[in-house]
Amino acid sequence: MTYTTLPNDETVVVHVTNNGPKEVTISQVLVAEAYWNFDVQGAGGDNTLAPRESAEVVIPYHWNPGWDLEVALMLSDGSTVHHTIVAPNQSPGLTTELLLTMAVIGLFVGVIPVALGMLWFPFLQSMSDRWLHAILAFSAGILAFLAIDAGFEAFELGEQVPGAFEGTALVALGIIGALLAVQSVSAWRKGRAAAGDARAQSGLWIAYLVALGIGLHNLAEGLAIGSSFALGRVSLGAFLVIGFMLHNVTEGPAVVAPVARGERPSILHFLGLGFLAGAPVILGGWLGSLAFSPTLGAFFLAVGVGAILQVIWELREMISRNGQAASALNLITFLVGLIVMYVTDLFVAL
């Protein structure tokens, strides 16, 4: 069983995937230890699932909000699969109102907090090179925490992925694939810079890479928020919204720090950076509202980790061009970046 949805108080929908090498047939369904009628939808018109095939088991059962519900599927070979629906609440379903709600939430969780953090730009411009490098190291610390946090979460979700899809391998593929993809873009940029392209030599490229890495991480945040609302866990969704808002304010300085030297970017670039870093929360909320998939969540988190790791390396090279990356001040501010993100992450955990 991958997840459950509750479209109304008379129906329980269990989403299942056959992760074994052989086909399986659902013969009986138990709800609260009692046999119950059921209908399997999306399995070729019968109760048999081929390997890697997914289906929905629709159970006409009147459930009580807040009361844990035990569901079990009995297979034709005698094995039983159990699932507990903790504190069930009605799933709102995919509606225009929900999509608009997710868009507004994404705006306040992703775009606005990042934009507020970007308001530090004039202050960053007035800093000496030594302190600007420290801010870049602080930005690297922020990104490092995001990579660590998302990496652990990706592998945890990978354990929930149906065995047929090899969750751990999927996460590793996402990390390596994203790292190589961003590295290829970086190599292309360096080639352009070596050829004399002034724009390729500016810090704006690095700023966009930082925004991309943060945006991919925020996409996974949107998935968490959207899925909590889609599965009826409104209180959890509200706490995630508040926690992520505080969390994302600290990401703004990381986005604009690479462009604090040289020509000031146009307002369109600032808008582009803000939306690239923050707007993916909206897309993640929409995808999560469709119904959260551990496979999708693990993969997006892994992609974010890979992109962030490469961006950290880019920031290191940027500091090394005009200073010492491993100076005492830079190492301290890198550690401060980790600590700040850890503290703000506690608001999400609480």
163 secondary structure, DSSP code: G
**Dihedral of CA 336/186/176/241: which sign?**
positive
Answer yes or no: are the C-beta atoms of 102 and 289 closer than 8 Å.
yes
pLDDT interval class at 97 (50, 70, 90): confident
Q: Are residues 48 and 195 in the same domain?
A: no
User: Tell me, what CATH number does 32's domain have?
Assistant: 2.60.40.1890
Q: Is 162 a domain residue?
A: yes
In 3-state terms the chain splits into helix, strand, coil percentages (rounded to 5) of: 65, 15, 25
Q: In which residue are the tokens 């369109």 written?
A: 268
- Residue 216 pLDDT more than 80? yes
User: Which range marks the domain in which residue 184 is found?
Assistant: 96-349
Residue (of 151, 146, 269, 286) closest to 218 by Cα position = 146
Domain edge (last residue) among 43, 66, 85: 85
Element counts in the chain: helices (H) and strands (E): 13, 9
For the question of whether the overall pTM of this predicted structure is more than 0.85, the answer is no
In a domain, 282, yes or no: yes
How many other β-carbons are positioned within 10 Å of the β-carbon of residue 140?
A: 28
Total count of domains within the chain: 2
On whether both 69 and 136 belong to a single domain, the answer is: no
Q: Nearest to residue 277, comparing CAs of 341, 324, 209?
A: 209
Question: Based on the domain organization, do 204 and 273 belong to the same domain?
Answer: yes
167 versus 98: which is more confidently predicted?
167
When pLDDT is cut at 50, 70 and 90, the band that residue 28 belongs to is: very high
| Same domain flag for 57 and 111 | no
96: amino acid identity, one letter: T
In a domain, 91, yes or no: no
Residues 200, 252 within the same domain? yes
Are 258 and 329 within one domain? Answer: yes
Q: pLDDT digit string (tens) for 275-324?
A: 999 899 898 888 877 766 778 788 888 888 888 888 888 888 878 877 77
> 163 in a domain, yes or no?
yes
Q: Are residues 104 and 80 in the same domain?
A: no
The single residue listed with the structure tokens 């996409």 is: 219
By the 8 A CB rule, do 247 and 182 touch?
Answer: no
The yes-or-no verdict on residue 234 having pLDDT over 60 is no
Q: Averaged over 210-237, what is the pLDDT?
A: 74
Domain termination site, one of 39, 55, 85: 85
To which H or E segment does residue 153 belong?
A: helix 129-160
Query: What is the per-residue pLDDT across 193-202, written as a single tens digit (0 to 9) for each?
Result: 777 766 666 7
